[in-house]
């Protein structure tokens, strides 16, 4: 029968680490910087260790000095911590890092995110990344994604709870967009005439395909305009492509369609823009934001959109 080893009666690990750091540098300040804690915390840990052992390990004079007991303990601790460090580093080299998994809105992913994403990849070349673009916001509480970018109201699907972190990236804006040739041909004198006569291109929003144009009409004071007509499409991409081909007037955020605007396939019909009340925002779990791959992506994407 195997002999059960008696339980080790070791002092707290934090106290041993604090003493080892102080003893190597003979400085509470440098030890605190190394351990990323305050100088007073290091001093308390060392004092607690001395109380537990019943011996003085340091002479606190103008310059710190090790006592005989401190000199005996230091090399043992340094060797033990060095050996632990070697083994743990080996585990890290052998282990396969988990991938960064993201969920993004399809139009936002193609138009805003993927063109800038190589910058993040260059900064993290060894990180495997998996991107999904579901047609609706995922149930992030129960999904396996590390982070998600949502489109909608900030409290959509209850993600703004205490256990979730929500970072606003970009607020959505409405602008009527059409092909320059259609704008030139139609010569609408004002917004009211455009709303009354243009072929309106709608993007389906759940069970309300007319929502976006009705909101635009209200916010521009054209509450009597009849906008419940025209062509209903599934995505902003489809609506804007139809508009670029002369099929009517779409309503969308022009920042997502800079390529068509630069190529003069698409242009704002009037110099007017209103807030849709919806946003693109990053959602992460509070208990996971310090995981390196998640922290790195969150810092990068929030910084990019803060600067844009």
End-to-end CA distance of the chain: 69
The pLDDT score that the predictor gives to residue 3 is 52
Q: 130 - beta bridge partners?
A: 101
Taking CA atoms, 224 is separated from 75, 214, 218, 252, 256, in Å, by 84, 10, 9, 21, 29
By C-alpha distance, which of 285, 302, 208, 253 is closest to 108?
Answer: 253
**Which domains, and CATH codes, for the chain?**
13-94 (1.10.10.10), 97-308 (3.40.190.290)
Upper half-sphere CA count for residue 299 (Cβ side, 13 Å): 10
Any idea what the Cα angle at residue 35 is, between residues 120 and 127, rounded to 5°? Answer: 20
Upper half-sphere CA count for residue 159 (Cβ side, 13 Å): 27
Taking CA atoms, 89 is separated from 94, 111, 127, in Å, by 9, 40, 18
The pLDDT score that the predictor gives to residue 33 is 86
State pLDDT tens for residues 45-63: 999 999 999 999 999 888 8
Q: Is residue 292 within a helix (H) or strand (E), and if so which, with residue range? A: helix 292-307
Neighbouring residues of 305: CB distance < 8 A, sequence distance ≥ 6: 169, 170
* Rounded Cα gap, residues 32 and 259, in angstroms: 52
**pLDDT, mean of each 10-residue run, the chain (308 residues):** 62 90 91 85 91 92 90 92 83 73 92 93 92 89 90 62 81 94 95 95 81 91 91 90 95 92 95 91 91 94 85
Q: Which residues of 266-279 are buried (b: 16+ CB within 10 A; e: fewer)?
A: bbebeeeebebebb
Q: Copy the structure tokens of residue 246.
A: 């002369």
The pLDDT score that the predictor gives to residue 254 is 93
By C-alpha distance, which of 214, 211, 195, 192 is closest to 203?
Answer: 211
The pLDDT score that the predictor gives to residue 136 is 85
Q: pTM of this prediction?
A: 0.63
The pLDDT score that the predictor gives to residue 90 is 72
State pLDDT tens for residues 184-208: 999 999 999 999 999 999 988 767 7
């Amino acid at each position: 029968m195997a002999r059960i080893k008696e339980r080790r009666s070791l002092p707290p690990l934090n106290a041993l680490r604090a003493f080892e750091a102080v003893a190597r540098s003979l400085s509470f300040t440098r030890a605190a910087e190394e351990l990323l804690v305050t100088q007073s915390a290091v001093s308390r840990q060392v004092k607690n260790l001395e109380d537990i052992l019943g011996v003085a390990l340091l002479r606190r004079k103008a310059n710190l000095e090790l006592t005989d007991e401190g000199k005996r303990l230091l090399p043992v601790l340094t060797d033990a911590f060095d050996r632990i460090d070697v083994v743990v580093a080996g585990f890290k080299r052998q282990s396969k890092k988990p991938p960064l998994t993201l969920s993004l809105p399809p139009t936002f992913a193609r138009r805003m995110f993927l063109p800038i994403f190589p910058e993040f990849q260059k900064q993290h070349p060894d990180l495997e990344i998996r991107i999904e673009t579901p047609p609706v916001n995922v149930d992030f509480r129960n999904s396996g994604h590390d982070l998600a970018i949502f489109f909608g109201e900030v409290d959509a699907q209850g993600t703004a709870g205490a256990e979730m972190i929500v970072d606003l990236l970009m607020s959505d804006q409405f602008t009527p967009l059409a092909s320059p040739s259609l704008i030139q041909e139609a010569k609408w004198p004002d917004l009211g005439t455009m709303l009354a006569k243009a072929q309106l291109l709608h993007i389906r929003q759940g069970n309300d395909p007319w929502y976006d144009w009705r909101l635009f009409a209200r916010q521009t004071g054209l509450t009597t305009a009849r906008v419940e007509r025209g062509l209903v499409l599934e995505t902003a991409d489809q609506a804007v492509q139809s508009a670029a081909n002369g099929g009517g007037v779409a309503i969308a955020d022009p920042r997502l369609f800079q390529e068509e605007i630069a190529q003069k396939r698409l242009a704002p019909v009037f110099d007017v823009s209103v807030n849709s009340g919806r946003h693109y925002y990053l959602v992460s779990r509070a208990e996971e934001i310090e995981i390196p791959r998640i922290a790195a992506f969150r810092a990068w994407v929030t910084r990019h959109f803060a600067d844009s």
